[in-house]
Structure 1
Amino acid sequence: MNASLSFSQYLGAIQKSIELERGDEFRELIDLNNGAAMQAIFEAQQRNPQWDPSGACTSRFASPWDEIVSAHCLCLASLLKGSRVEAYNHLVSCVTPFLKAFRQDTTAWCIEPMYGVVRNVRSVATAADKELKKLGKNQTKLTDAGRMLQNCFSAALQGHGNKAKKLATLEVVNTLFKIYFSLNTLRLCKNLIKSVDSPLLPNFDNFPLAQRVTYRFYVGRLAVFDEDYVRARDFLEFAFDNCEPSATRNKALILKYLIPVQLLLGILPTRELLRRHKLEIFEGIVGAMKTGSIKMYNECMDRYQEVFIQAGTFLLLEKLKQSVYRRLLRKVAAVHKELEPAKWAQIPLALFQSALAWEGCDMDLDEIECILANLVYRKYVKGYISHQHRVLVISKMDAFPPLKNINLVDIN
């Protein structure tokens, strides 16, 4: 809605959307980025410094919509004067009356308004916490928003009056995921996932595709933390493949997590893919995995360490060092086979030591033995180490199995 409106006209548009049960219109009207709504509030305040929307809302709307609209208008007014904490306090006061209206709805038209409410609550709570941080106070609003949205989830899950209202649940879940990731309280995501997988909710395919993409993205990221890399790959690939083609920023964001998982499973992205999505930060790691260059790997990890840490992928990418060691070992094994065809399966540790020294990694034989023992344990290599003779004896059959068969899970 871009046309200029007076405050009275703005309330009239909201009233019409409620009376005609046009949920998408109502959601647009309460969007925090609705310029016409902001302008209407601003002009009303300019005309009357003592402006208060409650009287106009009470005379125009039945309960509980009068409380909902009044609280929303006060939220916008607070945002206009730059008070995010005050805006949040106004906004959350409309959640309980909105849930009352949602439960009373028998035609499921309130699904779209629910989307608008939960997005607004998270957005303003995030802004409020930033304001509190600047003031040196405890940042509590996003945590509080999580509790409020749990109530929204419960209301949507129950679907009183019309089971179709359960279709509002996934948007609430996605918004809670965003909150929990921001707060680093990922353990709270588990029960939400169980609820989505339960028979209490509609079939997953019945939810809007955009919501399914967002859900799979976050569950894929959670699978990475759980070291379930196959599940992570499957969910993140779904998110990438079904993301709106024009949403290039979102596709790049998904790839920031999908590419490390794919690399761990032995799937290397093309240079064209990396450059199309401006993800050249991975080129050094991909090159290292292709060539076995520990130097290239270390340089890339050092250069982009902060970027990887902020994305939460640094520890995952650190696991790729084993793949680089393996690639270098394969090259060493190939050279050794040419030099010693009769003993090709017995690779002297000193030969691998020399290859690492060429890469700028000076290690003693005990350290070399430790690296190779780890490769054998994790099934990057089939074989065993003869400590007495200081050689790695590799299997004559499939000495370097596919990376998908590797033991990637760390023992706590």
Structure 2
Amino acid sequence: MAAQEPIWRDFVTAQNQGNGYLLATTITPEPPAAEPARLYNFQRWTNAYSVQTDLRYKLQYNPDLRLDKKEAGTWLEVFTAYYHFVGKLLAAEEAQNATKSRDADWTAVYESWKEVVSALYRGYNNTVLDAWTIPCLYVAGKYLRVFAIKADETAASQRDSGMAFGGGIEEDAFASVGQNDKLEDAARQINRLFALCLSDRAPIEDSRKWALYYMANLLFKTYFRLNSINLSKNILRSLQAGSAEMPPLTAFPRAHQVTFKYYSGVIAFLDEDYATASENLTAAYNICQARASKNKELILTYLIPTQMLTSHRLPTSTLLQQSPHLDRLFTPITRAIRPASLHAFTQALEAGEEDFVKRRIYLTLERGRDIILRNLFRRVFIAGGYETPKEGEAPTGQPMRRTRVPVKEFAAALMVSGAEVGDGEGGVDGDEVECLIANCIYKVRFPLAFATALFLYAFSPFLFLSSPGYLAMARVMETTRSRSQLCPSLARSKERGRGKQTKRRKERKDN
């Protein structure tokens, strides 16, 4: 028994000190770095026939432990299940290390670990285990997800090799069935743990609610992997409904805060609620540790497109160069937007399309065309110079910029930038140019009028829109044609917008 003493030494110390994190190390599937043989020693300490007797002796007759009968009984259940789990885990690891990964029974490992989780669940549900032990729930939920993923990957490998279902036609028939069977089951088990914490009515200092955000984050990770992102909204609604009886988010560990804000921001991003996404992602980035470069990279993957869309802010080269991944994704995009090159922007989108679609940011980045058009039209406006004083008119102190800009000047700028506004016969499709300009005007909610084929700028009550970029777009369209004659151009604009919405819905469905 001497070889097994360290696990009981840690258990006794944790119980006497009320140290939940030390207690959790006694049931973790990963041995401490300083004691790599801990799991082997624990398995050899007893056998399957006498494990309960030996454990009962350790728990009830140890003079250094002061556990009541119910608590000792709960830990007896937990360690008995843990002992059987260790045997399954070591067998699977040995098979995998011997390059026999297909012989590693990770499904059995998952099922045996689920027994450990169930024993812990009963202990908390019966109010036997105190709130200071909730790090054990962290370990339970974390590895439930890990082993579920390994079990599903092993099952998928067997299906691919024809070992499952006998191969042949049966393999095709069952190709879409049970591919994430264990992970879906793990999501249900973790949801039980989440509900267990949420329903606790104990005083807040002794409440299981301190594990809520950790469990919520585990569910977010699981639902995202299952591509069931809508289920994450149920978690957000549950937390919002119970917020009055919960500690504020700022009272939880920083790691819990960062992860929760990140996933909340990504969920809002996918719902096209970019203002909320920007708020949550910015908060996650600001409180993320400076050394957590991987976490910052994940946050910026969604924060950069969000900031581009909501505030037209582009990332600096210094920021992007801190991460080769971000540099590869976004540097071509920013290099196209700054000089207002539609051709370069299209090429950048096509080059990174696979990565952008995988991360569900493609259609958001595609809206960067609006920024390019704004910059382009602004340059046309500035290049137009100033009004020539009329004959006999006294010069004013400050020259006024030109208030009439011919459509052909915008068309020329679009052609130079690489926009597809040709009419197929070597000329320019004027309707297409007007359509692009009308879209820009609509997006700044400026009034439209029709008289001549010019864009006019006049002082109006909408001066809060008079930023340099919007000044170029805030021209009031006047044309010699009637409003009804221009409607086909605007109708095509609406059809194009509906087409993008359809593409976005299809992308969500495919992903």
**Normalization by structure 2: what TM-score?**
0.70
CA RMSD of superposed structures (Å): 3.4
Aligned length: 404
Query: The residue matched to 1:147 in structure 2 has which SS?
Result: helix
Asked if the contact 2:403–2:458 (Cα under 8 Å) also holds between the matched residues in 1, the reply is yes
1:218-233 maps to which residues of 2 (within 5 A)? 218-233=263-278
Distance of 2:212 and 2:379 partners within structure 1: 53
Distance of 1:403 and 1:94 partners within structure 2: 61
Distance of 1:403 and 1:25 partners within structure 2: 58
Deviates more, 1:139-148 or 1:69-78: 69-78
Structure 1 residues 326 and 187: alpha-carbon distance in aligned structure 2, compared to 1, 3 A threshold: same
Distance of 1:286 and 1:10 partners within structure 2: 55
Match of 1:84 among 96, 99, 106: 106
Distance of 2:114 and 2:468 partners within structure 1: 53
Distance of 1:162 and 1:336 partners within structure 2: 70
Match of 2:440 in 1: 375
Structure 1 residues 15 and 140: alpha-carbon distance in aligned structure 2, compared to 1, 3 A threshold: farther
Match of 2:407 in 1: 349
Query: The residue matched to 1:347 in structure 2 has which SS?
Result: strand
Q: AA paired with 2:151?
A: A
C-alpha deviation, 1:250, in angstroms: 0.8
C-alpha deviation, 1:312, in angstroms: 1.7
Match of 1:29 among 26, 37, 54: 26
| Match status 1:208 vs 2:253 | yes
Match of 1:318 in 2: 366
Asked if the contact 2:406–2:455 (Cα under 8 Å) also holds between the matched residues in 1, the reply is yes
C-alpha deviation, 1:307, in angstroms: 1.5
Asked if the contact 1:171–1:211 (Cα under 8 Å) also holds between the matched residues in 2, the reply is yes
Structure 1 residues 44 and 234: alpha-carbon distance in aligned structure 2, compared to 1, 3 A threshold: closer
C-alpha deviation, 1:247, in angstroms: 0.8
Deviates more, 1:54-63 or 1:318-327: 54-63
Q: AA paired with 1:39?
A: A
Structure 1 residues 348 and 155: alpha-carbon distance in aligned structure 2, compared to 1, 3 A threshold: same
Structure 1 residues 378 and 106: alpha-carbon distance in aligned structure 2, compared to 1, 3 A threshold: same
Match of 1:293 in 2: 341
Match of 1:125 in 2: 148
**Normalization by structure 1: what TM-score?**
0.86
Query: The residue matched to 1:202 in structure 2 has which SS?
Result: coil
Match of 2:65 in 1: none
Structure 1 residues 41 and 234: alpha-carbon distance in aligned structure 2, compared to 1, 3 A threshold: same
Match of 1:275 in 2: 321
Percent identity, aligned pairs only, is 26
Asked if the contact 1:71–1:93 (Cα under 8 Å) also holds between the matched residues in 2, the reply is yes
C-alpha deviation, 1:393, in angstroms: 3.7
C-alpha deviation, 1:40, in angstroms: 3.2
Distance of 2:317 and 2:49 partners within structure 1: 59
Match of 2:377 among 321, 329, 350: 329
Runs of 5+ consecutive residues of structure 1 not aligned to the other structure: none
Match of 1:41 in 2: 39
Query: The residue matched to 2:73 in structure 1 has which SS?
Result: coil
Runs of 5+ consecutive residues of structure 2 not aligned to the other structure: 60-71, 93-103, 160-177, 391-400, 422-428, 474-496, 503-511
Distance of 1:86 and 1:94 partners within structure 2: 13
| Higher alpha-carbon Rg | 2
C-alpha deviation, 1:95, in angstroms: 2.1
Match of 1:140 among 160, 175, 181: 181
C-alpha deviation, 1:402, in angstroms: 8.3
Match of 2:135 in 1: 112
Match of 2:122 in 1: 100
Distance of 2:27 and 2:42 partners within structure 1: 17
| Match status 1:266 vs 2:266 | no
Structure 1 residues 56 and 357: alpha-carbon distance in aligned structure 2, compared to 1, 3 A threshold: farther
Q: Deviations over 1:213-235 (max 9, x none)?
A: 11111101111122221221111
Asked if the contact 1:288–1:294 (Cα under 8 Å) also holds between the matched residues in 2, the reply is yes
Match of 1:156 in 2: 197
Match of 1:65 in 2: 75
Match of 2:489 in 1: none
Distance of 2:382 and 2:419 partners within structure 1: 21
C-alpha deviation, 1:322, in angstroms: 1.0
Match of 1:246 among 288, 291, 294: 291
Distance of 1:296 and 1:14 partners within structure 2: 62
C-alpha deviation, 1:123, in angstroms: 1.6
Q: AA paired with 2:437?
A: L
Asked if the contact 1:292–1:328 (Cα under 8 Å) also holds between the matched residues in 2, the reply is yes
Q: AA paired with 1:353?
A: A
Asked if the contact 1:64–1:97 (Cα under 8 Å) also holds between the matched residues in 2, the reply is yes
1:378-389 maps to which residues of 2 (within 5 A)? 378-379=443-444, 382=446, 384=448, 386=450, 389=452
Query: The residue matched to 1:291 in structure 2 has which SS?
Result: coil
Structure 1 residues 47 and 17: alpha-carbon distance in aligned structure 2, compared to 1, 3 A threshold: closer
Q: AA paired with 1:374?
A: N
Q: AA paired with 1:250?
A: N
Structure 1 residues 72 and 395: alpha-carbon distance in aligned structure 2, compared to 1, 3 A threshold: farther
Match of 1:308 among 356, 361, 373: 356
Structure 1 residues 310 and 209: alpha-carbon distance in aligned structure 2, compared to 1, 3 A threshold: same
Structure 1 residues 332 and 162: alpha-carbon distance in aligned structure 2, compared to 1, 3 A threshold: same
